[in-house]
């Protein structure tokens, strides 16, 4: 176990649709012996199962991350009492929970209409007309909360389980622990917004103290799709081929003179993998292979949905190819509606509602939804009181951050549809029933993928480091088909 050399392959499950082998390939991007020496530090004992430990109900995750903190009481958690008490002073009762005390205004009822949808009758705001058609596929979490009301710590928490920098992200843990099912693509792909990085930048998909090859690989919808996957320089393909052949021969000669050095073999393997990745990545990103109807479904080719629609479609193409964890980001915190929530929030919804609904439809049509877990949500929620600009004009009211309540939904592999779990108080300020912390959400994701929170760990600086932290998390069994 020392040196992390031994990789557990207990209970690697075979799954699911069409008898496709779900045997994990740990060796993508990190050959086993590559990991062995110190890639996870030498002192570290590690828990790295190498595949699901119990039967998984999904093999891939698409994480639709909504940077900024979507407003729960304007989208998915209607609060009639808040509307009734609109305009009443409330600040002093929650003063310690407000980021900008000087800008705090009175209670702000949602200006948006809610109605019930689907067989389950789930309440959804008028801002999400497309999603409302899919409520019978969703498990909605209204009792979710986090632990810090500032973006950066809340983002770290949401993505790595800790409020602080330097921990492996969710996707890194999962791909490190489970491996990938595609030998030619990275296991953890990040589809960032070409307009810019989210808050905390590349830290959101860092591998922390896990080997660097498990950090999220950024795929771009335009230009060179993956860092260094195509050459930065121009030369004839035949030249490239000859040079690579030469390197291969030189390395074989080098190896022949050094019998018994397994590291040299690992290096050659890593080299071969890199070569295969070059073609696979380009192919996965080629949307010209899709029909017009599919493009239309995602809102590709028109505004304001084109950019996000493309990322959603690429996400489908990646999970189709066995990529384990796909994460979608949006630039500039479109959900961080400190002001003018009446116009900014509808705009954010307009960019994403159709692409996400399209993704749900498409995955379902292709029979992929059963093995893909979709997770939607942001790093925090918003306050029931208004936030005012310096002129204190209520017309441009927004909402400040709230760590005590936020909303998320899950859909797909192993998750029940049409379920609402948890609730907030009458004003939507804090989760009161079915309270779920971020580590609980993480534990639930791991569970769906066939892992217990304790199956993945690295012993480091004397601590058994787990994604979910020191305290025991609770899997949200209420939303699972097989609890």
Residues 69-128, interacting with other proteins (CB under 8 A): 91-92, 95-96, 98-102, 104
d(CA 39, CA 210): 7
- The nearest distance, CB 303 to other proteins, in angstroms, is 22
Q: How far is the CB of 81 from other proteins (least distance, A)?
A: 23
Which of 15-23, 123-131, 296-304, 458-466 is the region at the interface with other proteins (rule: CB under 8 A)? 458-466
| Token pair recorded at residue 435 | 């309270």
Is 143 within 8 Å of 421 (Cβ atoms)? yes
- In the region spanning residues 239 to 298, those forming contacts with other proteins, defined by CB under 8 A, are 239, 242-247, 249-251, 253-255, 257-261, 263-264, 266-268, 270-271, 273-275, 277-278
Q: Which CB sits closer to other proteins, 20 or 250?
A: 250
Tell me how far, at minimum, the Cβ of 276 lies from other proteins, in Å. 9
Residues between 168 and 227 that touch other proteins (CB under 8 A): 194, 199-203, 206-209, 211-213, 217-218, 220, 223-224, 226-227
Per-residue burial over 106-135, b = 16 or more CB atoms within 10 Å of its CB, e = otherwise: bbbbbebebeebbebebbbbebbebbbebb
- Nearer to other proteins (CB atom), residue 230 or residue 365: 230
CB of 93 to other proteins, least distance (A): 10
Q: Which of the stretches 145-153, 282-290, 404-412, 449-457 binds other proteins when contact is defined by CB under 8 A?
A: 145-153
Cα–Cα dist 72/38, whole Å: 44
Q: Which of 205, 57, 20 is nearest to 139 (CA)?
A: 57
Q: Which residue has the tokens 């389950």?
A: 120
Q: What is the DSSP string of 422-483?
A: -EE-TTSSSEEES-EEHHHHHHHHHHHTT--GGGSEEEETTEEE-TT-SSPP---GGGBS--
Q: Please give the structure tokens belonging to residue 297.
A: 């479904």
Nearest CB to other proteins, comparing residues 79 and 338: 338
The piece of 46-54, 299-307, 450-458, 469-477 that touches other proteins (CB under 8 A) is 469-477
Residue 467 Cβ vs other proteins, minimum distance, rounded to whole Å: 14
Could you tell me the smallest distance in angstroms from the CB atom of residue 165 to other proteins?
A: 5
Out of 11, 13, 16, 33, name the contact with other proteins by CB under 8 A.
33
Contact pick of 39, 407, 458, 475 for other proteins (by CB under 8 A): 39
Centre a 10 Å sphere on the Cβ of residue 269 and count the other Cβ atoms it contains: 16
Distance between CA atoms of residues 424 and 79, nearest Å: 9
Asked whether position 30 contacts other proteins by CB under 8 A, the answer is yes
Q: Which stretch binds other proteins (CB under 8 A): 10-18, 75-83, 152-160, 439-447?
A: 152-160
- Name the burial class of residue 208, with classes exposed (0-12), middle (13-18) and buried (19+) by CB atoms within 10 angstroms of its CB: buried
Q: Which is nearer to other proteins, 84 or 100 (CB)?
A: 100
Rounded least distance, CB 471 to other proteins, Å: 6
Contacting other proteins within 370-389 (CB under 8 A): none
CA 374 to chain CA centroid, nearest Å: 9
Partnered with residue 424 across adjacent β-strands are 431
Question: The dihedral of CA 202, 206, 208, 214: what is its sign?
Answer: negative
Expressed in angstroms, the distance from the first to the final Cα of the chain is 32
Choice from 18, 19, 113, 235 touching other proteins (CB under 8 A): 235
Stretch that binds other proteins, among 119-127, 160-168, 314-322, 412-420 (CB under 8 A): 160-168
- Judged by CB under 8 A, the residue of 231, 301, 367, 394 near other proteins is 231
The answer to the question of residue 19 lying near other proteins (CB under 8 A) is no
Instruction: Indicate the residue among 43 and 370 with the shorter CB distance to other proteins.
Output: 43
C-beta separation of 226 from 219 below 8 A: yes
> Which residue stretch of 80-88, 234-242, 295-303, 377-385 sits at the interface with other proteins (rule: CB under 8 A)?
234-242
CB of 137 to other proteins, least distance (A): 33
Instruction: Kindly state the smallest distance separating residue 204's Cβ from other proteins, in Å.
Output: 10
Binding residue for other proteins (CB under 8 A) from 472, 477, 481, 482?
A: 472
Residue with tokens 């490239």: 240
For strands 46-47 and 463-465, give the pairing.
unpaired
Alpha helix (H) ranges present in 38-192? 72-75, 80-84, 151-160, 170-178
CB of 201 to other proteins, least distance (A): 5
Q: How many residues bind other proteins (CB under 8 A)?
A: 103
Question: Does 463 interact with other proteins (rule: CB under 8 A)?
Answer: yes
Axis-axis angle for helices 262-284, 237-256 (nearest 10): 160
Judge whether 118 and 129 are in contact, CB under 8 Å. Answer: no
Stretch of 9-17, 38-46, 324-332, 342-350 lying at the interface with other proteins (CB under 8 A): 38-46
């Amino acid at each position: 176990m020392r040196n992390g050399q031994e990789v557990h392959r207990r209970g690697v499950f075979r799954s699911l649709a069409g008898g496709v082998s779900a045997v994990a390939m740990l060796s993508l991007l990190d050959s086993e012996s590559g990991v062995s020496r110190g890639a996870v530090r030498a002192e570290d004992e590690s828990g790295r199962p190498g595949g699901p430990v119990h039967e998984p109900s999904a093999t891939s995750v698409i994480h639709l991350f909504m940077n900024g903190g979507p407003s729960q009481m304007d989208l998915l958690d209607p609060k009639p009492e808040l509307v009734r008490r609109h305009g009443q002073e409330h600040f002093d009762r929650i003063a310690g929970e407000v980021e900008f005390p000087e800008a705090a205004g009175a209670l702000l009822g949602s200006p948006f209409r809610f109605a019930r949808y689907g067989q389950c009758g789930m309440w959804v705001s008028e801002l999400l007309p497309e999603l409302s058609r899919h409520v019978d596929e969703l498990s909605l979490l209204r009792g979710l909360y986090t632990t810090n009301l500032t973006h950066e710590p809340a983002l770290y928490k949401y993505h790595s389980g800790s409020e602080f920098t330097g921990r492996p992200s969710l996707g890194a843990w999962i791909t490190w622990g489970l491996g990938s099912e595609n030998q030619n693509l990275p296991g953890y792909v990040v589809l960032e917004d070409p307009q810019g990085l989210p808050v905390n930048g590349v830290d959101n998909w860092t591998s922390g103290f896990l080997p660097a090859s498990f950090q999220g690989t950024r795929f771009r919808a335009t230009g060179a799709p993956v860092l260094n996957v195509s050459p930065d320089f121009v030369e004839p393909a035949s030249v490239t081929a000859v040079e690579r052949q030469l390197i291969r021969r030189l390395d074989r000669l080098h190896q022949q003179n050094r019998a018994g050095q397994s590291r040299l073999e690992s290096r050659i393997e890593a080299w071969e993998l890199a070569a295969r990745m070059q073609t696979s990545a380009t192919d996965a990103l080629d949307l010209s292979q899709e029909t017009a109807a599919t493009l239309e479904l995602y809102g590709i080719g028109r505004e304001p949905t084109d950019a996000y629609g493309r990322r959603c479609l690429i996400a489908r193409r990646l999970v189709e190819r066995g990529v384990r964890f796909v994460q979608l980001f949006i630039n500039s915190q479109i959900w961080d509606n400190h002001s003018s929530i009446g116009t900014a929030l509808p705009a954010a919804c307009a960019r994403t509602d159709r692409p996400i609904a399209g993704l749900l439809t498409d995955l379902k049509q292709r029979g992929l939804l059963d093995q893909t877990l979709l997770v939607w949500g942001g790093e925090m929620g918003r306050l029931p009181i208004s936030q005012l600009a310096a002129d204190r004009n209520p017309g441009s009211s927004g909402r400040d951050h709230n760590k005590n309540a936020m909303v998320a939904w899950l859909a797909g592999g192993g998750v029940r549809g049409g379920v609402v779990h948890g609730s907030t108080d009458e004003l939507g300020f804090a989760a009161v029933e079915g309270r779920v912390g971020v580590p609980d959400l993480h534990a639930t994701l791991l569970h769906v993928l066939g892992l217990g929170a304790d199956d993945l760990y690295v012993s480091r600086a004397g601590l058994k480091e787990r994604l979910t932290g020191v305290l025991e998390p609770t899997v949200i069994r209420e939303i699972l088909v097989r609890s």
